[in-house]
């Protein structure tokens, strides 16, 4: 990921000499210090460009010589200007930073509506409160990470294991069609290509089943033993089922490598044409803990060929560092909560080494000690979460935020209700219920721990999608 930085001034405000004479103790960072501070917050990004003052011709010449071409621009405006039109015409993603209070503007800085340009503000004078200045730097870094996420999706290959290509059996449902399934699929695949220059790679389920059967027993056992050691308990499953799930994990990784893909989704238990009973007879496990481990590894993964959810996870992994919790979406306006529940979800809900404890369990509704293993992850309470889902067909993003609350305080025996992984989110559920768009987004959402509302709004601006803020 490469960003070209351009500073259209030295970063020193007009009257700086007099200001410095009267206030010699006040430090004003130069351009190099500013860029170094941004580098420290975006280690995955390589920066090119100069830190001395340039004009637009300098930038165009630098870009013309750049190999490979940068994925985006970081532009610091001049005291009297905004982003030059010649740079806007390039159509590249731009993070434009207004150097507020460096001079009296003759060209106003504006939001650049309908253009792939994200804006931030960094005065030359540091804020009196260091926390405010730190917030400004973090905002620039977050916007660059969003540009990076968009760039990393370019030429993505998404593996879809299904006997019902290209989108699989679970989504879209019939109520999501504008006319028929073919029109939906054609538009969907076209939009994936147009927006991200990415493609869906379809392979039949039998290929996955064969990989499971031929998976290395010793490798699978080592992975299973690690899951067993890390778990805080086990209920309704056993060691052999954990090993079966480890074989599925290895099979999914191998298929991704063979097909040069960086994300994967499969059907559930080979359905259709199989189903739970036929799959269990063939030792084909549920995708539960395999998906949880892949997400923890930083690999986008989803069950039930939920491709919109998978793309949402993939973008969020690149933006936030966490793959989140995919699940069925339930809104309870009387209890002021939304519930997300499924049998998969990352062990690492944050972009750091913190892990949530988990219990190894069987899939709900089915006989114990069959069908593989899923992890019942105990996610944190009292934390801000962002609920999101992209619609590649409609070119929209659903977005809301809330705070996790204890499910046990809402319903008895919470961990035995529906999906093994679930969170209850205190939010404006009445507004969500009034505004929810099941036709566009279906009945699944992805939950991410943290407030990423602005990042998703920035993403929507970059890719030209509409944001639907259901809780506002």
347 and 377 Cβ atoms separated by less than 8 Å: yes
Model confidence pLDDT, tens digit, residues 61-110: 999 998 889 999 999 998 777 899 999 999 999 999 998 877 766 667 88
Report the pLDDT averaged over residues 155-160. Answer: 96
* CA dihedral for 319, 322, 325, 331, sign (positive or negative): negative
> Which residue has better confidence, 405 or 11?
405
Q: How many CB atoms lie within 10 A of CB 116?
A: 17
- Please tell me the predicted confidence (pLDDT) of residue 235: 96
Model confidence pLDDT, tens digit, residues 24-39: 887 888 999 999 999 9
Q: What global pTM score does this model have?
A: 0.95
- Please tell me the predicted confidence (pLDDT) of residue 12: 77
With a CB cutoff of 8 Å and minimum separation 6, the contacts of 91 are 116
Which residue matches tokens 């923890």? 296
> Token pair for residue 274?
């199989």
At residue 16, does pLDDT exceed 80? no
The share of the chain scoring above pLDDT 90, in percent, equals 81
Report the pLDDT averaged over residues 198-214. Answer: 96
Which band of pLDDT confidence, cut at 50, 70 and 90, is reported for residue 125? Answer: confident
The share of the chain scoring above pLDDT 70, in percent, equals 99
Burial class (CB in 10 A: 0-12, 13-18, 19+), 377: buried
- Please tell me the predicted confidence (pLDDT) of residue 83: 92
Order of strands, sheet of 263-266, starting from the edge strand that comes earlier in the sequence: 199-203, 157-161, 263-266, 301-302
Measured between alpha carbons, how far is 445 from 329 in angstroms, rounded to an integer? Answer: 6
Q: At what angle do helices 288-297 and 217-230 cross, to 10 degrees?
A: 80
Measured between alpha carbons, how far is 384 from 465 in angstroms, rounded to an integer? Answer: 24
Measured between alpha carbons, how far is 422 from 286 in angstroms, rounded to an integer? Answer: 17
CATH number of 2-153: 3.40.50.9100
252 and 208 Cβ atoms separated by less than 8 Å: yes
Measured between alpha carbons, how far is 122 from 101 in angstroms, rounded to an integer? Answer: 9
Report the pLDDT averaged over residues 293-315. Answer: 96
> Which residue has better confidence, 325 or 78?
325
Measured between alpha carbons, how far is 206 from 210 in angstroms, rounded to an integer? Answer: 6
> Token pair for residue 214?
């031929």
Which residue matches tokens 């200045």? 133
With a CB cutoff of 8 Å and minimum separation 6, the contacts of 206 are none
Measured between alpha carbons, how far is 8 from 51 in angstroms, rounded to an integer? Answer: 9
At residue 434, does pLDDT exceed 70? yes
Exposure pattern of 197-223 as b/e (b: 16+ CB <10 Å)?
Answer: ebebbbbebeebbebbeebeeeebeeb
Report the pLDDT averaged over residues 185-206. Answer: 97
Name the residue ranges covered by the structural domains of the chain: 2-153, 157-469
Mean pLDDT for the chain? 93
Which band of pLDDT confidence, cut at 50, 70 and 90, is reported for residue 195? Answer: very high
Report the pLDDT averaged over residues 100-128. Answer: 85
At residue 401, does pLDDT exceed 80? yes
Model confidence pLDDT, tens digit, residues 220-278: 999 999 999 999 999 999 999 999 999 999 999 999 999 999 999 999 877 888 888 88
- Please tell me the predicted confidence (pLDDT) of residue 108: 79
Measured between alpha carbons, how far is 63 from 59 in angstroms, rounded to an integer? Answer: 6
- Please tell me the predicted confidence (pLDDT) of residue 18: 76
Could you list the beta-strand ranges (E) of 248-350.
263-266, 301-302, 325-332, 337-342
Measured between alpha carbons, how far is 82 from 2 in angstroms, rounded to an integer? Answer: 23
């Amino acid at each position: 990921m490469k960003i070209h930085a351009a500073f259209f001034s030295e970063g020193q405000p007009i009257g700086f000499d007099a200001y410095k004479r009267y206030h010699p103790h006040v430090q004003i960072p130069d351009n190099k210090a500013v860029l170094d501070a941004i580098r420290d917050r975006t280690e995955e990004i390589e920066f090119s460009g100069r830190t001395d003052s340039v004009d637009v011709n300098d930038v165009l010449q630098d870009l013309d010589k750049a190999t490979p071409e940068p994925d985006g621009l970081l532009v610091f405006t001049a005291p009297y200007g905004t982003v030059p039109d010649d740079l806007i015409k390039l159509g590249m993603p731009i993070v434009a930073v207004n150097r507020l209070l460096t001079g009296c503007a003759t060209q106003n800085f504006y939001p650049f509506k309908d253009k792939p340009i994200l804006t931030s503000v960094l005065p030359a004078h540091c804020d009196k409160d260091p926390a405010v200045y730190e917030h400004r730097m973090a905002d620039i870094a977050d916007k660059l990470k969003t540009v990076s996420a968009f760039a990393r999706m370019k030429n993505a290959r998404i593996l879809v294991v299904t006997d019902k290509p290209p989108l699989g059996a679970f989504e879209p449902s019939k109520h999501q069609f504008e006319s028929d399934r073919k029109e939906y699929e054609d538009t969907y695949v076209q939009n994936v290509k147009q927006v991200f220059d990415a493609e869906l790679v379809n392979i039949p389920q039998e290929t996955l089943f064969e990989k499971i059967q031929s998976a290395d027993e010793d490798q699978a056992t080592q992975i299973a033993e690690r899951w067993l050691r890390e778990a805080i308990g086990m209920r309704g499953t056993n060691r052999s089922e954990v090993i079966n799930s480890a074989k599925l994990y290895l099979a999914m990784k191998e298929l991704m490598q063979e097909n040069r893909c960086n994300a994967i989704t499969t059907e559930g238990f080979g359905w259709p044409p199989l189903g739970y009973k036929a799959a269990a007879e063939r030792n084909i496990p549920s995708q539960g803990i395999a998906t949880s481990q892949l997400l923890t590894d930083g690999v986008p993964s989803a069950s039930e060929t939920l491709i919109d959810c998978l793309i949402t996870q993939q973008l969020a992994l690149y933006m936030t560092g966490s793959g989140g919790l995919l699940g069925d979406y339930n809104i309870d306006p009387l209890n002021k909560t939304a519930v997300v529940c499924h049998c998969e979800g990352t062990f690492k809900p944050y972009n750091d080494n913190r892990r949530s404890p988990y219990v190894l369990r069987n899939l709900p509704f089915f006989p114990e000690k069959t069908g593989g293993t899923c992890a019942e992850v105990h996610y944190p309470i009292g934390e801000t979460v962002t609920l999101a889902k992209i619609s590649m067909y409609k070119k929209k993003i659903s977005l809301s935020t809330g705070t996790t609350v204890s499910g046990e305080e809402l319903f008895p025996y919470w961990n035995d209700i529906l999906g093994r992984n679930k969170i209850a989110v205190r939010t404006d559920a009445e507004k969500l219920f009034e505004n929810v768009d099941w036709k566009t987004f279906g009945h699944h959402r992805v939950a991410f721990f943290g407030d990423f509302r602005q990042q998703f709004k920035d993403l929507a601006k970059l890719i030209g999608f509409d944001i639907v803020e259901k809780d506002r």
